Amino acid sequence: MANTNKILPRLAIKRRFEQILAEEWKLNLVDYFKTSVDDTPQVWITEIDESYTNISSVRNKKLDATCSVTIAVFSETQETAVHGIIQKLMDISPSYFPDFRINDINPQVSSTNYQNDASNGHVMAAITLDLKYFYERN
């Protein structure tokens, strides 16, 4: 992915995930922590990391890059719906990113926890996806 628009690839990838989640999949995307949890599942991109490795040529401007995106899904009562969204995210492919040259997308880790500190409690699941691509330095 050539850095032609002067933003880090992870920001462009985050924006594309937001588009997929909110506009295409019609999910309730939040970008901040709420003090209450709705019954309808909510989706939150909680962390994005990029790691880079030099490709073996000294003069090569390309880096082998991996972007790890963690997405949390939570609901007060809809455990099955929360896990259905996680499963859908596990199946996401590079075809969802037509403007990017993503080589591969793989689930790295997924988890579920049950919170009881809210008045009614809630279920929260998360998944971390690794997106692999080449990043070209200017």
pLDDT in tens, 27-78: 999 987 665 678 899 999 999 999 999 887 767 788 899 999 999 999 988 9
CATH of segment(s) 9-132? 3.30.2000.30
Residue 110 burial (CB count, 10 A): 17
The pLDDT of residue 31: 80
- Give the three-class secondary structure for 51: strand
The pLDDT of residue 136: 84
Strands in the chain per DSSP E: 28-29, 42-54, 62-75, 102-115, 122-136
* Cα distances (Å, whole numbers) of residue 114 to 29, 32, 120, 137: 20, 20, 11, 43
Closest CA to 124 of 88, 69, 76: 76
pLDDT in tens, 91-105: 999 999 999 899 999
**How are beta strands 42-54 and 28-29 bridged, if at all?**
parallel
Return the structure tokens found at 120.
């009614």
